[in-house]
Amino acid sequence: MRNPKTFLMAAAALFFTVNRPAWADDFSSETSQAKICVSNGSLAQAEEHFKKASLAAKKKSPQYGDYATSLLNLGSLYCQEKKGAEAENCYKEALDIYKKAYGENTLETARAYNGLGDAYRLQEIYEKAAPWYEKAAKIREASAPEHTDLADTSASLAECYGHLGRKTDAITLVKRAVSIRQKALGNRDPLVAKTYFLLANLYEDTGKTQMAIPVYEKVVSVCETTYGAESPKVATTLEHLASMYQKEKRLADAEKTYKKALAIREKKPSDTAKIKACIKAYAQVLKQDNKSDEASKLESKLASSAAPAKDKGGKASK
């Protein structure tokens, strides 16, 4: 038999849809404007629109309807703006509303649980973030085990576990996230590449270099297709891959990979720190392979870039 409370809430939602008041259009309009601002990177303007949407919804809507949604929207935006405390307050209010309306173990409460995890994770309070993600993951696994929302929760929880020293658990979670995202988004999606990169990082951190190598190789391929062969993301992944080759004594592969990474880095001369780091790592491999002359030539680039500029009289400028 259908739960009377659920039936009444569904009837109220239907009535609300058919007899939509003017303030609800304000909510929709402000929310749409906010999302446009987010996509354009105008986060301050987005915040203003989301606040107006929330105010409109709070006036007359059922708390578990548009108003709770507005709190989740604001919480997500605050996370993007690195305003962890503000995000935490929004998600806590939304959670309280959802618990009263639906109970503790529903997909609605899972959204708030996951949001609280985000708020704490972005403040790097991983020990507080993990339990909220665990709650969200339990609900999502039971209700929608192949949904990308579960992949999002799993990847975020894996990051927390990684920082808390639970790297084996983190690897299990990232594998789950990869599986879901691959099925839903395909092999060439940027989010899939990001998840593979996280998995390779975890293999690297736990000393599983032979397992990290094929995953980094996959990430390079996806990033080259998605972002272009000269993307900094490609260079970063190549550097990690070269380091793994070096640890496995595959020096020829390491040299070739560092050379490719350096060529990408040098296309952006202003990023001197990353160029220098790449040169140092590349030179180290050359020395290990008894190619001291080539290593010296590379290191001379470092010396010349570190030398102070001279004025017209030949004196070093201050």
Q: Does 200 have pLDDT greater than 90?
A: yes
Token reading at 203: 């293999």
pLDDT tens column, 91-134: 999 999 999 999 999 999 999 999 999 999 999 999 999 999 99
Q: Residues 187, 189, 190, 194: is their CA dihedral positive or negative?
A: negative
Domain 186-294 has CATH 2.40.160.100: no
CATH of domain 42-164: 1.25.40.10
Give the pLDDT band (50/70/90) at residue 19: low
Q: Where are the domains of the chain?
A: 42-164, 186-294
Residue 24 token pair: 């609800």
- In the prediction, which pLDDT does 60 show? 72
> What's the average model confidence in pLDDT over 40-60?
90
Place of tokens 């972005």: 122
pLDDT at 318 over 50: no
Residue 1 pLDDT exceeds 70 = no
Q: How high is the pLDDT of residue 62?
A: 79
pLDDT at 197 over 60: yes
Query: 198: closest CA among 154, 146, 264, 246?
Result: 154
The three-state DSSP-derived secondary structure of 190-239 is HHHHHHHHHHHHHHHHCCCHHHHHHHHHHHHHHHHHHHCCCCHHHHHHHH
CA distance 271 to 65: 48
Whether 42-164 and 186-294 share one fold: the answer is yes
Taking the C-alpha atoms of residue 170 and residue 192, their distance in angstroms, rounded to an integer, is: 16
